[in-house]
Amino acid sequence: MFFCNSSDILGLTMTHMDNNIYPEPSKFDPNRFENQASVPPYSFAAFGGGPRMCPGNEFARIEILITIHYLVTRFTWKLCADTSFCRDPMPVPAKGLPLQIQQEKPL
């Protein structure tokens, strides 16, 4: 309920840390966003939503794309020699994905 002439504040942290929406909310788990249909609308609102969404949302997306571009085009990526895989049901690195990254061109 909202009252006339009152100040109301939306606590996004409470929504982002809700166990009913995000199991183990303190754990870093980027896979939780793979199935958007299972996440209630507006439950993740780091940049707000609607017509007044933070312009930083688009800036952050472009910044990430530029960073990935430089990582892919300016560095050589090689798997480390002792990488083993297990099937689960697809091949998955057994101990993470150790990489050797070497700069090709100066930034």
What mean pLDDT is predicted for residues 52-57? 87
CA distance 47 to 97: 31
Measured torsion, CA atoms of residues 44, 47, 51, 56, in degrees rounded to the nearest 10: -150
Please state, rounded to an integer, the average pLDDT across all residues of the chain.
83
Residue 27 lies in a domain: yes
User: How many structural domains compose the chain?
Assistant: 2
98 in the same domain as 75: yes
Claim to verify: residue 63 and residue 31 sit in the same structural domain: no
Task: Report yes or no: 15 and 45 within 8 Å, Cβ to Cβ.
Answer: yes
pLDDT tens digit sequence for 71-107: 999 999 888 877 777 777 787 777 778 888 888 866 6
Residue 84: give the domain boundaries. Answer: 55-107
Do 69 and 100 fall into the same domain?
yes
37 and 60 share a domain?
no
Name residue 49's amino acid. G
Q: For residues 61-75, give the mean pLDDT.
A: 93
Q: What would the two tokens of residue 63 be?
A: 């910044």
What average pLDDT does the segment 29-57 reach? 82
| Assigned domain for 73 exists | yes
87 assigned to some structural domain: yes
Residue 14 resides in a domain: yes
Instruction: Please tell me whether 54 is known to bind a ligand.
Output: yes
